[in-house]
Amino acid sequence: MENEDKIFELEAEYFKALSHPTRIKILYLLKDGESCLCDLIPEMGKDESHIARHLAVLKRANIISVHRRGISAYYKLNDERVIHIIEKAKEIISKQIDELKDILK
């Protein structure tokens, strides 16, 4: 049971790392390939420190990785299946919204 509890804990930490709109947007921006912070800033419309803080959370959760080229840091998804998780959540939310609309009619 102890191993199972550890797995639940790891799963919760993974989902916690996904639990901010800025981080979800970053993941969508990285789904087509790696990107440097300098490219993410204009796409996100946020300041560098804000984006860097969220990149650090995703990196600590091992959802993204970073490598340096010269003075630039490039970020990429470690596993594209994270996008499938987000898309599934979007499907569930959309269905719930549709059901709510039907109830409110």
Both tokens of 46, joined, read 């946020």
The pLDDT-based confidence of 55 (bands split at 50, 70, 90) is very high
Angle at 86 between CA 33 and CA 27, to 5 degrees: 30
Name all contacts of 87-91 with Cβ < 8 Å and 24+ positions apart: none
80 vs 99, higher pLDDT? 80
- Kindly report the average pLDDT of the chain as a whole number: 94
How is the chain split into domains, by residue range? 2-79
Each residue's pLDDT tens digit, 3-50? 899 999 999 999 999 999 999 999 999 999 999 999 999 999 999 999
Report pLDDT for 41. 93
pLDDT value at 1 more than 80? no
- pTM value? 0.88
The domain 2-79: what is its CATH number? 1.10.10.10
Provide DSSP, 18-83.
Answer: T-SHHHHHHHHHHTTS-EEHHHHHHHHTS-HHHHHHHHHHHHHTTSEEEEEETTEEEEEES-THHH
pLDDT value at 68 more than 80? yes
Place of tokens 């990785």: 65
